[in-house]
Structure 1
Amino acid sequence: MNKPIRITVADDDPGILDAVGMMLEMEGYIVNATLNGNTILTSQNELPDVYVLDIWMSGSDGRELCKKLKSEERTKHIPVILISASNDLKYSAEIAGADDFLAKPFEIDMLLSKIEKALLN
């Protein structure tokens, strides 16, 4: 039996966080959702299989979080998908080491396909 896939989602918009979390749970994922991206760096819980991080969050920047995750031995192998309301940030997401980028607003199917792609790599 396969273990369930864990996804950590960080976004400072409670509406987006709730909607994305609910849709991912309906797809069978275990979701850890947080309004404060900085908590993912200090979390001692079981590591996720994928991170989905908003780029612009109050108190933290998804690109900086991505760089930190990619520089740490225990998290550098975990795919990071950055999301943002600005499509102009795709390049800076790549510079930060993100595995993928998604512009808001997005269809949940698009996010699901990016998560599936990230899990295959």
Structure 2
Amino acid sequence: MNKKIFICDDDSNIVDMLAMVLREFTDATVLTETDSRKALSRLIEECPDIFIVDLSMPLLSGDQLIKEVRNNVLLNKILIICMSAKLDAKEIAIEAGANIYLPKPFDINDMISAVSKNSNNG
């Protein structure tokens, strides 16, 4: 089954790079958003299998977004991969409800591995 991956990061370079790599190395459909305020409504509309989110974003932070996803009955089963360069980010991400945390800069193979493991369970 073809999985859907939704990426939300305010850095369009990271979004573009991740989308390109994940499209190349997985059979997933990859959707992206750089405005965290639009992410929740798009998540509800698209119902992805995997949500990759940056922790540090303006206006609506990644941990706030993760909490909203976990509190939404339509979305709360999504695998959430959170990424950040902040020192205390892992604790914040896991506390908010992320399943996996990857520190920035991360090895792209770690991201592919995290996505692929979930995609094979499908």
- TM-score, normalised to structure 1's length? 0.90
What corresponds to 2:116 in structure 1?
A: 116
What corresponds to 1:104 in structure 2?
A: 104
Q: Mapping of 1:37-48 within 5 angstroms?
A: 37-43=36-42, 44-48=44-48
What corresponds to 1:13 in structure 2?
A: 11
CA contact (8 A) 1:17 1:35 kept: yes
Paired with 1:55 and 1:105, the residues of 2 have a C-alpha distance of 13
AA paired with 1:34? E
Paired with 1:87 and 1:18, the residues of 2 have a C-alpha distance of 24
Unaligned runs of 5+ in 2: none
What corresponds to 1:83 in structure 2?
A: 83
CA contact (8 A) 1:83 1:101 kept: yes
- TM-score, normalised to structure 2's length? 0.89
What displacement does 1:75 show? 0.2
Paired with 2:6 and 2:63, the residues of 1 have a C-alpha distance of 15
Unaligned runs of 5+ in 1: none
RMSD: 1.6
Secondary structure, counterpart of 1:25 in structure 2: helix
What displacement does 1:46 show? 2.5
Q: Mapping of 1:15-94 within 5 angstroms?
A: 15-27=13-25, 28-43=27-42, 44-94=44-94
Secondary structure, counterpart of 2:45 in structure 1: coil
What displacement does 1:87 show? 3.9
Paired with 2:67 and 2:37, the residues of 1 have a C-alpha distance of 13
Cα offsets for 1:61-113 (capped at 9, x unmatched)? 11110011011100000111110012421011111011110001111110111
Aligned residues: 119
- Percent identity between the two aligned chains: 29
